[in-house]
Amino acid sequence: MKRKLLFSGLISVLFVVLFAITISANAIDWRQFEGKTINLLMNKHTYTNSITDYTDEFTKLTGIKVNLYALSEQQFFEKQRMVLATGSDEYDISMIGPEFIWEFKPFLAPLDQYIEDPNLTDPAWDKADFFEGLMASNSVSGQLFAVPVMAEGYIFQYRKDLFDKYGLTVPTTLDEWIETTKALQKSLDEDGKEDMDALAVRGIRGPGTVILVPTCLLYAAGGTYFDENGKCAINSDISIEIHKKYMELIKAGCSKDWSSYDWYDVKDALTSGRAASGADCNFFAAEQWDPEVSKVVGNMAYAMIPTVEVSNTWTWGLSMNNASRNKEAAWLFIMWATSKERLLDASLNYNNFDPTRASVVEHSEVKAMFEKMGNYYQVDQQMLSKARLLPSQFAEVFTFADMWVVALQEMLMGTKTVEKALNDLAKQADAANFTFMSE
């Protein structure tokens, strides 16, 4: 996945030229807020890298000075919480994920009024070019609170060479997934690969363990976290059945250390060849096809998670602080930083591999980059076209997720039956009085 410096340099020069051509015909006055200064609070991320290199270009275009502060993820979340929850105007723009929009909604500025203002938004920005589900995931009550700049969804990732060797086919139902995993583990053991797991999924206490695969499976079966009256439905008949099968799946092929598996453990198990299949973030594929770090180059293939047509998602997006004194200037930056040109550049030259715009996914250079990765492009496009945030919108979603993981671990250890664990979880969630909002 490494690109030669010369090629990257030529591409970067090309984008500067193309962007200059694009803005020369714009219908808005880019210098209407000349002399303003805006402050950005960003997570250290590939997308942030793509913007950091071009803030001077934005200043030349608009006359607006940009101060960008990038922090490690944990520091970023702590700083963001402190700034937004106190109503501070220290930062005008912040990166944000959808679930945090639910928590900080009173402190964020809705973006629709800026998008709809012909003096502030160039028609070439093209809101319709963003995947609909990703925009909906960053909206509450029909109002958009962040423009997504990258997305992740969840797919099945497997060793095609081993599936072919053992005569296995890609599962499409949950029952098939369980039986395939059992057969795969049996074949691995008989083949002397006793240190290789048939399946890798997250099990650590943290939201990712449940908002990925279990959530996707639950919603695909017609289940939900909470019903329309806000009562917890995690102990419904549908949910009980899904959880029983999910426990069977984990026992069939996951590591004995499953309860400590985080996202990077799943990624590393797949990339190193210690797991023959997995279900997790789509972008893990990039490392699997990088010969500098991967032991499985050329052997990986991809599919939708069995039974799942609509994947849950996470996005990073750009949001505006409602306390900002420079909202219009901040919007010009958000529009510029999420333009077709900037997001295409981020994908091609900065490893921002999860495009949020259809035009970026369909670009010939992006296709060429992804099509070197087996059937990844086709599966990723299928997943992204429908991906959206699935859970009911409530501010304490991560608190609920933490409770849910505890229930999963109780099921696996056998300290509680599936029914008992889910009934206790539902009672605990109802007693917590979560704050729901209109979707």
Sequence ranges of the domains in the chain: 5-151+314-361, 154-312+395-431
**What is d(CA 212, CA 210) in angstroms, rounded to the nearest whole number?**
5
Q: How confident is the model at residue 351 (pLDDT cuts 50, 70, 90)?
A: confident
**Contact, 412 vs 259, CB < 8 A?**
yes
Kindly state the greatest CA–CA separation across the chain.
Answer: 71
CB neighbour list of residue 99: distance below 8 Å, 6 or more residues apart = 207, 389, 397, 398
Q: How confident is the model at residue 438 (pLDDT cuts 50, 70, 90)?
A: low
Q: How confident is the model at residue 5 (pLDDT cuts 50, 70, 90)?
A: very low
Fold assignment, 5-151+314-361? D-Maltodextrin-Binding Protein; domain 2 (3.40.190)
Q: How confident is the model at residue 3 (pLDDT cuts 50, 70, 90)?
A: very low
Identical fold between 5-151+314-361 and 154-312+395-431 = yes
**What is d(CA 283, CA 221) in angstroms, rounded to the nearest whole number?**
25
- pLDDT above 80 (res 418): yes
**What is d(CA 278, CA 198) in angstroms, rounded to the nearest whole number?**
8
pLDDT at 353: 81
pLDDT at 88: 96
Rounded to the nearest 10 degrees, what angle do helices 55-62 and 5-24 cross at? 20
**What is d(CA 374, CA 289) in angstroms, rounded to the nearest whole number?**
9
Looking at every residue in the chain, the average pLDDT score rounds to 92
pLDDT at 10: 40
Mean pLDDT, residues 129-133 taken together = 96
**What is d(CA 353, CA 285) in angstroms, rounded to the nearest whole number?**
10
**What is d(CA 185, CA 163) in angstroms, rounded to the nearest whole number?**
11
Span 51-85, pLDDT tens digits = 999 999 999 999 999 999 999 988 999 999 999 98
Return the CATH architecture of domain 154-312+395-431: 3-Layer(aba) Sandwich (3.40)
What does pTM read for this prediction? 0.88
**What is d(CA 199, CA 276) in angstroms, rounded to the nearest whole number?**
6
